[in-house]
């Protein structure tokens, strides 16, 4: 089964509104739910799901209209994955991850954008975002890079990759670059044997002595907010002025929120139909069940509101030409970590409520439980890593991050 929206070749997806994009996500939810078990076995983005995402244009929500994309406001990077992940968290994650890379490519030099999108505006781009895992040195015309990057989601389906490198002059760090490289110039390491989020295909990649020209090596110091990035010469939409490192995790946070919402929705469906095995009482008549479902639903609702509000505020600041302070950037990173922890707690509570049924593969919430804990390991969702810096700065301390 595929969604009804036809592929729009002539003008791309420039006329697709946010509401229509959200409708296309919603239509895919039952389809993805029916494929989830098979997708786990495949351990990567399924071809039929990739085709559906291309056909609908959903992967191009952040791509500039100049190249046929939707060019939606920044909240789409959260809202669309959150809706899609109600069907399958891995699919929501891939939408967020691959979709935001279209948004990121708009920040690069025009030559890089033409090189990728000129031949194929549907081209998928994976990433390796951990700067310590990549090293580079300046040479004539560009950079020579080496590295081994974990968690390159969607890499099997991608024809490009954005690889983070720390550039040194001897022992001194002089730059941080996000290097855009074509498939074939890096090795995919098939090590994705994991607890959950299996269908993201987040394998590792390796590069050795790889040359990356200047125009494909984006300086992270130019994308901390404002219009200093190379792509600003051709893209005037304020959405591209939003600081990447501050809000880079909000898209994949949509996957976590949608996954937790699926747990709430499925639990309600199950409880409506279920009696206890020993008393024949209706589960919904137990106040403990009522309170547990209400508490979990409130946690997910709060997580959605806080993440979405961060995106709306970021768009508002960008339109006004305002660059957030370090404390404000740390606050949104704090917010998203807190929100995803609330989602994990909600899923845990609902999974525990299943009792012995929760151990069966056939019970849908067991996959949601595994996915919640797998995605919760992302550094952007670590409360210890993201809450502490905001607390330090809020109380008068100094936090140094060259990419923030």
Q: What is the pLDDT of residue 1?
A: 44
Does the pLDDT value for residue 368 go beyond 70? yes
pLDDT digits 0-9 by tens, 185-217: 999 999 999 999 999 999 999 999 999 999 999
Does the pLDDT value for residue 9 go beyond 50? no
With tokens 């700067």, the residue in question is 131
pTM of the model: 0.93
Does domain 18-117 correspond to CATH entry 1.10.540.10?
yes
Does the pLDDT value for residue 5 go beyond 60? no
Report the pLDDT averaged over residues 151-179.
97
- What is the enclosing helix (H) or strand (E) of 102? helix 89-105
CA proximity to 117, closest of 71, 77, 86: 71
Domain extent listing, the chain? 18-117, 125-219, 244-394
The whole-angstrom separation of Cα 98 and Cα 158 is 9
Q: How confident is the model at residue 11 (pLDDT cuts 50, 70, 90)?
A: low
Q: How confident is the model at residue 288 (pLDDT cuts 50, 70, 90)?
A: confident
Does the pLDDT value for residue 4 go beyond 70? no
| Residues near 234 by beta carbon (within 8 Å), at least 6 away in sequence | 64, 66, 110, 113
Query: What is the third-level CATH fold of 244-394?
Result: Butyryl-CoA Dehydrogenase, subunit A; domain 3 (1.20.140)
- Comparing 361 with 175, the larger pLDDT belongs to 175
Q: What is the pLDDT of residue 2?
A: 40
Q: How confident is the model at residue 275 (pLDDT cuts 50, 70, 90)?
A: low
CA proximity to 334, closest of 377, 388, 266: 388
Q: What is the mean pLDDT of the chain?
A: 94
| Residues near 293 by beta carbon (within 8 Å), at least 6 away in sequence | 264, 267, 268, 271, 350, 353
Query: What is the third-level CATH fold of 125-219?
Result: Butyryl-CoA Dehydrogenase, subunit A; domain 2 (2.40.110)
Does the pLDDT value for residue 163 go beyond 90? yes
Q: What is the pLDDT of residue 8?
A: 45
pLDDT digits 0-9 by tens, 116-126: 999 899 999 99
Q: What is the pLDDT of residue 237?
A: 97
Q: What is the pLDDT of residue 321?
A: 96
Q: What is the pLDDT of residue 280?
A: 60
Q: What is the pLDDT of residue 3?
A: 43
Report the pLDDT averaged over residues 364-386.
95
| Residues near 345 by beta carbon (within 8 Å), at least 6 away in sequence | 296, 299
Q: What is the pLDDT of residue 279?
A: 55
Q: What is the pLDDT of residue 283?
A: 76
> Cα 279 from chain centroid?
44
The answer to whether 98 and 202 are in contact (CB under 8 A) is no
Range with the poorest average pLDDT among 7-21, 119-133, 233-247, 265-279: 265-279
The whole-angstrom separation of Cα 57 and Cα 98 is 12
Torsion over CA: 255, 256, 258, 263 (sign) = positive
């Amino acid at each position: 089964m595929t969604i009804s929206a036809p592929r729009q070749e002539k003008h791309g997806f420039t006329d697709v509104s946010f509401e229509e994009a959200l409708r296309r996500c919603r239509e895919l939810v039952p389809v993805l739910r029916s494929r989830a078990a098979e997708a786990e076995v495949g351990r990567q983005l399924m071809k039929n799901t990739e085709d559906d995402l291309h056909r609908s244009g959903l992967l191009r929500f952040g791509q500039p209209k100049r190249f046929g994309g939707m060019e939606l406001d920044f909240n789409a990077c959260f809202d669309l994955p959150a809706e899609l992940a109600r069907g399958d968290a891995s699919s929501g994650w891939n939408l967020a991850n691959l979709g935001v890379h279209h948004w990121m490519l708009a920040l690069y030099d025009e030559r890089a954008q033409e090189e990728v999108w000129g031949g194929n505006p549907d081209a998928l781009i994976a990433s390796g975002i951990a700067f310590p895992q990549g090293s580079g040195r300046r040479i004539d015309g560009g950079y020579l890079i080496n590295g081994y990057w974990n968690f390159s989601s969607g890499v099997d389906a991608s024809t490009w990759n954005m690889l983070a490198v720390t550039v040194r002059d001897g022992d001194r760090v002089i730059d941080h670059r996000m290097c855009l490289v074509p498939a074939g110039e890096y090795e995919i390491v098939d090590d994705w044997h994991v607890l959950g989020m299996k269908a993201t295909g987040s394998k590792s990649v390796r590069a050795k002595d790889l040359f990356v020209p200047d125009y494909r090596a984006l300086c992270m110091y130019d994308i901390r907010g404002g219009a200093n990035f190379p792509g600003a010469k051709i893209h005037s939409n304020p959405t591209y002025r939003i600081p990447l490192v501050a809000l880079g995790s909000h898209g994949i946070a949509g996957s976590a929120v949608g996954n937790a919402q699926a747990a709430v929705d499925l639990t309600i469906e199950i409880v409506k139909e279920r009696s206890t095995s020993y008393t024949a009482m209706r589960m919904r008549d137990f106040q403990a069940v009522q309170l547990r479902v209400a508490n979990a639903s409130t946690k997910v609702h709060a997580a959605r509101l806080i993440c979405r509000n961060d995106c709306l505020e970021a768009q508002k600041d960008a339109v006004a030409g305002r660059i957030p302070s370090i404390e404000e950037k740390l606050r949104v990173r704090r917010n998203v970590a807190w929100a995803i922890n609330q989602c994990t707690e909600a899923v845990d509570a609902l999974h525990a409520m299943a009792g012995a049924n929760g151990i069966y593969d056939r019970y849908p919430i067991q996959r949601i439980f595994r996915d919640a804990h797998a995605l919760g390991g992302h550094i952007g969702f670590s409360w210890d890593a993201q809450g502490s810096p905001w607390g330090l700065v809020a109380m008068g301390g100094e936090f140094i991050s060259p990419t923030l």
